Structure formats: structure tokens, C-alpha cells
Amino acid sequence: MTTLRRRATLGIGPAALLAAQASWRLPLAHARGEGGTFVFGRGGDSVRLDPATITDGESARVTEQLFDTLVMFNGSSTELRPALARSWDISPDGLTYFFNLREGVRFHDGTPLDASAVKWNFDRWMDPENRWHKEALAGGVTFEYYEDYAGFSDVIRNVDAVDTNTIQVNLKSPQGPFMLNLALFAFGIISPSSANVGFDALSRNPVGTGAFKFVEWVPGDRIVLEKNTNFWGEASSLDRVVVRTIPDNAARFLALRASTIDMMEGANPEDVPNARRDRTLSVILRPSMNVAYINMNLTQKPWDDVKVRQAVSMAINRPAIVEALYGGTGTVASQLIPPSLLGWNPEVRGPQYNPDRAKQLLSEAGYPNGFTTDFWYMPVSRPYYPNPQSVAEAFASDLGKVGIRVSLKTEDWGTYLADRNALKFPIWMLGWTGDNGDTDNFLFTFFGNHRQDNSWDNAQVRALLRQGQQSADVAEREFVYKQVNAIIEQELPRIPIAHTTPPLLARSYVKGYLPHPTATEFYSTVWLDK
Amino acid sequence: MLSFTARRIAESVPVLVGVSIVVFLFLRLIPGDPALVLLGERANEQGIQRMRDAMGLNQPLHIQYWRFADRLAHGDLGRSIRTGRPVLEEAAGRFPATIELGVTALTIAVVIGVGGGVVSATWRGSVVDHAARVFSLVGISMPIFWLGLVLIWLFAVQLQWLPSDGRLDSTTRYAPRTGFVLLDAALQGRGDLAVTALRHLVLPALALSTVPMAIIARMTRSSMLEVLRQDYIRTARAKGLKEYLVTTRHALKNASLPVVTIIGLQVGFLLSGAILTETIFSWPGIGRWVFEAILNRDYPVVQGITLVVAFIFVAVNLLVDVLYAALDPRIRYR
């Protein structure tokens, strides 16, 4: 075996590495109520319950309760703690990872969780010739998180089962956020024997090691889970969890007020102050891991001129918009990453509202009388823009005051995404919600490649982002990302608008819910104080 | 009659083939890509192509249609490209919910609509007539979306008499046999299940029935007024027949032809109205499913369900035609 040393330099907090030495137990601040059914209301149904092949949050919400990953986020932070792997070792060159699995863990079907089961999962994710990989492709689905979002297909060379409880992962090149990526829902470990029934059945009858076991799925209505009494961690105090689909935001809020459901996500912004006033309800804010921004096509006039971009940024009264239209759940963004992320630069103040200076900049850019353009806004609300049309109207009003006359336009969501990828819009609204709590997941996605909706051709930034992605040194990465944020402030390829803390509304008797910035949330910590 | 029915069934085949082609083409003509909708903000070119390959969307259009038609000929509506599950299987789980809701709503609409229309026409110009006319005007103008939210707010949140959403309580468990909860409750002898299902059915069925109820009431009233002016009604009264017999046996039967036509047309409304009702009341039926499938560009689901709905519409129209003959012996089919 190669000489190994434990490292705290791969984007993982030292606390997580200390925690790796100890077996994990949930911290309990209160005495917990026992039993009961927790009903969560959400806007859409799950697509399927195979964590490796899903990309939507509504499927992940359920698979997170059923499956465990090798490592997991610690409470509401993006630090890591052991999960199925009770500890891990990393080689000095950052290319070899050894995971020591927790012993005695069993899947819900009674089969053991061991190194061969974990290897089986890696093989299914990574090998296009693998039988179960091919079955999934034949079922019309792909392994997007492995292939793309986590970038593992470019990084992982192979995986071996060293012994019954040790798994070795060999990388082609170091990846800064490798461990954080492993905590993503997509890398939940499924029972190999559950795959023998075929991909269809596997997607509908999930078998993991999680705190809850799957009971039933009534499509479009509910998914029912029950407590796993053999869970390796702290068993949930809940007997049962029902995840209900209630598509309309207003109807979902009424269902919460009528106590049909215990908790909900996706409230209309105007309902949040109402919930705050209602003593029987509580508002839980999910820590921010998103950014709303304005993007521009820098390959076209007038957006190729930085003075025009600066003029736009100064024309928009961001504090007033956030105050008026975010229902108390937003903060003005100075940068394109939330303040909690590595490399957030305190010296970057972000655009300051100054319409006079904006007019002056437009004159200097050769537009003393302003200009006319189409401004595209999103047809759907997202956590970072809960009210896109109203925000777009406010933008249009502010821009009009400095002479930029915008015509507001929108189209259906799928077309909107396609058109922004094809750079068909001159200026448009969009945003991002982080997957893994790493800066790379924001900035490399935005500017790491000169393709898709990135029209900012900046080789220096691309090189810095590549360096940040491959570095194993936290200090180096922090320095790199601070530099990138400073350059972005100067060049303004996108204008940061806001970060939000998406609200979750609950009956006041719901206790112990730990909101997580990446929305990786576990119902096993919840108890009902009825 | 038999040959007429057989001919009408045969005629419906090209209608359904036409519907399948139009829906297939229109779906692909409208902008949007299912892979993009699924990938959202994260969509990049490689991911989109990978997903489109897996979904079979990179094949030429005529090949895609041929595969769809071939499967259809074998009774297979294909698989949802979003969930990967067979459309027929998913539809089978959702149709009973929509049918249960639609039949209840239609029953409410017909009973109250026809009753209200008859009463209104019989006591024309009375307070009852004015009230019924105002009610029907309001009913027609009322957006289901708004009405649904008001009903939930009043009966579920304020009065707490009825549940706000869904077909069953979150804690209710039962093993579906037919998918029709009320029928299953009867088959399994479970009174508790029937009560829960009925309580959940009241608000959405009321919301969905409002517009058809108002239309049926107005049509019944005007049709009845027309018939009540006829000579044979005067004759019936002159020979001393009791008024309720004049109304029900002579007037209503003759006035019912246009009403039956309107009721048949309301089936189409119920299917479209179900989209809104099912969304507001979280009713896991076909309407909401198709609506979401359109937004997600889930082609096989939209194609399959449109065909099934077209079939239902053709069947209901045929039934209405057959009913004409039963109601009016002068009508002959050739």
C-alpha cells in the first residue's frame, strides 16, 4: 500500500476530518417526541427513485431519505462527516482515496453493505459496458451527475474493493471538490440485489440503507416511507413520512394552514409574511446557496462594451428590488457566489446604485440617448428569482430611467433554456443553485469553458478556474477564487442581483428540521411536538 | 341502428389516426426540448445530446412516428420519456381518479342543472327564477381556479369541515383493486374508506361541476320555455292533467334533446376543466398529468392520452346520437 496521509486540503473542513475519526451520532438539542407521521408538501412529483440517474430536486428529496452516501454534509453546513464510510485516507498526490466502510450495515432488503456492493455501484455509474448501466440507458436515462455535474467521468480512473470493508478509488487527476461531490444525492448506494428486477422496478422500488424504507408511490399524489428500525445511525423518531404532491403554491399553503400537511416548500413570496404572522406556523430559512444574476451576450453590441454593462449594473436599484420583491428572504449579491463559499472576496463591493453615473457611462460608450433592447425574463419562478416577472418589470423601470428602453419578453421554460444556450437573447435573467457547496460548482460552471451561455472569452479566468478545480490546497484555491471574483467585478460579464434563503413553511410543532444550503435534507432529524 | 353504430365506429378510426398524426407533429413543431426541461439551468450540449440519444429523440421524425404507430397497433402507447414508465400503466393509475371526479361532477351538474332549469322555467319571472338565472350567470363566469381556492379556504381552513386536497388522507392506507376508491371501498367492505373518499370528493367535484351546471340550467330553462308554449302542452293542461305530469312527462321529455347535446359537450369541458381542478385540489388524475407532460414536452404521454381522450369524446358523441333516437322516435338513422 502506498504511503498515505490524511489531508485537510481538499475543500473539506478540518472538523469533518476530525469527525471522521468518530462514529457519527446526531446531536439532539431537545428531547424528541416519539412516533407520528410527517407529511411534507411539495410542488411536483418525483421522476424516478434511482439516485444515480435523476437530476431533479423532487426525486432527490425522496432518495436522500432512502439512500446513504459514503460521506455526508454535517447538519446545515457544507462540511463533511462520515456516513457509510466511517473514515477515509487520501494519498499525498490526491490521486488515491481509501474509504473504510462502516461494518454491519445492511440494506433494507437484508443484504450486507460491503466493499463489493459499493464497487458495484461505482461500476454501474462509470462503465458504459456495465449491464446495469446499459439497462438504464435503454430505459432512456443517463448518469448526468456522474458524467457531468460532478465531472467524475473525467476524474475517476477505476475503483477496487481492497477487502470486505475497504474501497479504493483511483483518480486520473486531483479534483478539489471530490469529497463534496461524493456527498451528493446522486452517489447514494443502492442494493445490488435490487437491480436484478430490472431498471423499471429498481426506479420504483428503491432499496437503500437510509433511515427510511420505501413503502408505496401513488404517482402524482404521494410517496410513503416508513422508519428503518435497523438504521446504522440514530433512528428517526417518526414512524412514517408521506411526501405529498400539491402543485399549486397557494393551495399548498392553504393545505398547511388546514393542517393537511406539516411542512411545505415553494411558497409564494407574498405568503411568507402571512406565515410569519401566524403563530401556528413557523418559517425556516434554508441557508443561501444560490445567486440570481443578469446575463448579457458579450459577443454583441452594445454588451461587448464594459461601460454599458457597468451602466446597467448601476442603473438597477438592487437593494430596493430585493426589499420589495423577495418577501424578506433575499440579500443583495455583491458577487456571483454566496458569502459562505471559499474565495468570496470581502473587497468586492458589487455594483452600487448610481443612475447619474450610469447615464454618464452610457454617454462615454457612445449612447448618450440610451438604446432599445429586448430583455428576457424567466417564465417560471426559481428559488433565486421567486417572482421573475415582477423583478423584470422593476429592472425595466430602472433601466428606462437612464435611457435603456427595454421590451420585456418571455417564452416557455424549455425554449428559454435552449435560446439562452444558443445566445439568442441580448440580455436575460437566470441564476444558479449550488450542487455541492463548492465555489468551483458556481464559477467553473459559469466561466470555465467558453461555450453555451458563457460569452465571456477570458483565458486568464479560465486558467485560474482550472487551477482552482485541480488544486488540493485550500489556501491556494481561496486565493485563486478571490482573484476571479475581483476580475468579474471589473469586467461584469454577469451582474449579480441577489442571494436568497428559500423559505420552508411548517406547522409550529415540527421540530428538528435541519435546512441545508444544497437542499440535502434528512427527515430523520424531524420530530413532532404535538 | 346497428349498422349506423358500426359505421360511426368505423368512421372514428381515421379520426383517431388523424388526431395521432396532428398531435405527433404539433408537439414536435412547438419549440422546447424534453432533455432541456429535465436538465434545467444545468443543461449543456453534451448532456442534452446524451439525454436525447437515450430518449430516442435524435432519430428522424418519420422513424419516430413509425415506431409510435407500430407500438400503437400493438396496444402500446410507449414510455414516458421523463419517467421511463409505460404510458398505459401510468394512465391506468390515473384515469380512475379523473373518471371518479368527472362522473361525480357531471352527476351534480345534471341533477342541479336540469332541476334548476325546470323550476326556473315553470315559475318564470318568480324570485326562484331570478335567483337561478343569477346563479347560472355567476357559475358560467366563475374561474375554477379562484372558486377552488375559495372553497378550500372556507371549508378546509376556516370551517375545517372538509379536507383541502388529494383523494385520501395522508395516513389512509388501502390496496387499490380497481383504482376507483369508492368502488374499492364497496368491494372491500370498508366504510371508513368510503367516508374518507367522499369527503375528499366533495370540494373538487363542486368546483368542477359549477360551469356545466350553469350551462345545463340555462339550456334546460330556455328549452323548457320553448316547449311550454307549444299547443300540445295547452292541450294536456286542458284535458286536466296534473301540472307536474305536464312538466315531467310532456314538457321535459321534449325539451331534453338540446339538453342531452349540451351534456354530451360538457364531457369535453370536464376533461379540460379537470386540469385546473386537479391542480388546485392535488387530485392525482389524468388532467394534471397531461398538463405537466405538455410543459415537460413528454411526447409519448401527450400523444397517448390525447388519443385516449379523443376516443372517449368520439364514444360520448356516438352515445348522444343514439340517445336522440331513444328520446325522439321521429329520428331515424341511415
What confidence tens digit (pLDDT) does each residue in B55-68 have? 778 888 888 888 88
Q: Do A245 and B282 touch (CB under 8 A)?
A: yes
Least confident of A245-249, A255-259, B44-48: B44-48
Q: What's residue A247's pLDDT?
A: 87
Closest by Cβ to B82, choosing from A47, A412, A418: A47
Helix (H) or strand (E) holding A243: strand A240-245
CA dihedral A109, A111, A113, A117 (to 10 degrees): -100
Q: Do A219 and B280 touch (CB under 8 A)?
A: no
Checking phi first, is residue A510 left (phi over 0); if not, alpha (psi -120 to 50) or beta?
beta
Closest by Cβ to A414, choosing from B32, B85, B166: B32
In this structure, the number of other CB atoms found within 10 A of the CB of residue B158 comes to 11
Q: Do B280 and A251 touch (CB under 8 A)?
A: yes
**Residue B33 · residue A414 · CB < 8 Å:** yes
How many angstroms separate the CA atoms of B300 and B306, rounded? Answer: 10
Q: Concatenate the DSSP letters of all residues of B21-50 into one string.
A: HHHHHHHHHSS--HHHHHHGGG--HHHHHH
Q: Do B50 and A142 touch (CB under 8 A)?
A: yes
Residue A29 has pLDDT above 60, yes or no: no
Residue of chain B nearest A242, judged by CA positions = B170
Q: Do B282 and A39 touch (CB under 8 A)?
A: no
pLDDT in tens, B195-211: 999 999 999 999 999 99
pLDDT in tens, A79-128: 899 999 999 999 988 899 999 999 999 999 999 999 999 999 999 999 99
Three-state secondary structure string covering A327-375: CCCEEECCCCCCCCCCCCCCCCCCCCCCHHHHHHHHHHCCCCCCEEEEE
Q: What's residue B333's pLDDT?
A: 63
Residues of B in contact with A245 (CB under 8 A): 282, 284
Residues of A in contact with B45 (CB under 8 A): 421, 451-452
How many angstroms separate the CA atoms of A69 and A389, rounded? Answer: 38
Percent of residues in chain B assigned helix, strand, coil, to nearest 5: 75, 0, 20
* Cis amide bond preceding B14, omega within 30: no
Q: What's residue A15's pLDDT?
A: 36
Residue of B41, B154, B167, B286 to mutate, interface with A, max A Cβ within 10 Å: B41
Closest by Cβ to A244, choosing from B157, B170, B289: B170
Residues 452-511 of A with CB under 8 A from B: 452
Q: What is the SS3 assignment for A52?
A: helix
Closest by Cβ to A39, choosing from B41, B84, B170: B170
Lookup: cell for A275: 406565515
Query: Strand A37-42 relative to strand A263-265: parallel, antiparallel, unpaired?
Result: parallel
Mean pLDDT estimate for chain B: 86
Q: What's residue A2's pLDDT?
A: 37
Q: What's residue B321's pLDDT?
A: 79
What secondary structure letter does DSSP report for A189? P
Q: What's residue B23's pLDDT?
A: 84
Q: How close B47 comes to chain A (CA, Å)? A: 7
Number of CB pairs, chain A paired with chain B, less than 8 A apart: 167
Q: Do A48 and B83 touch (CB under 8 A)?
A: yes
Residues facing residue A163 across a β-bridge: A166
Q: Do B94 and A219 touch (CB under 8 A)?
A: yes
Q: What is the pTM of this model?
A: 0.83
Q: What's residue B320's pLDDT?
A: 80
Sign of the torsion formed by the C-alpha atoms of A341, A343, A346 and A349: negative
Q: What's residue A451's pLDDT?
A: 67
Q: Do B280 and A199 touch (CB under 8 A)?
A: no
> B97-131 burial, b if ≥16 CB within 10 A, otherwise e?
bbbbbbebbbebbbebbbebbbbbbbeeeeeebee
What secondary structure letter does DSSP report for A303? T
User: Mean pLDDT throughout A139-148?
Assistant: 84
Residues facing residue A430 across a β-bridge: A293
Q: Is A463 exposed, middle or buried (0-12, 13-18, 19+ CB in 10 A)?
A: exposed
Q: Does domain B90-327 have CATH number 1.10.3720.10?
A: yes
The widest CA-to-CA distance across chain A, in whole angstroms, is 73
User: Mean pLDDT throughout B261-289?
Assistant: 86
Q: Do A417 and B289 touch (CB under 8 A)?
A: no
User: Mean pLDDT throughout A256-263?
Assistant: 95
Q: According to CATH, where is 1.10.3720.10 located in chain B? A: 90-327
Q: Do A413 and B281 touch (CB under 8 A)?
A: no
**Residue A244 · residue A225 · CB < 8 Å:** no
**Is B158 touching A (CB cutoff 8 A)?**
no
Q: Do A248 and B279 touch (CB under 8 A)?
A: yes
Q: What's residue A27's pLDDT?
A: 41
Q: How far is CA B299 from the centre of its chain?
A: 21
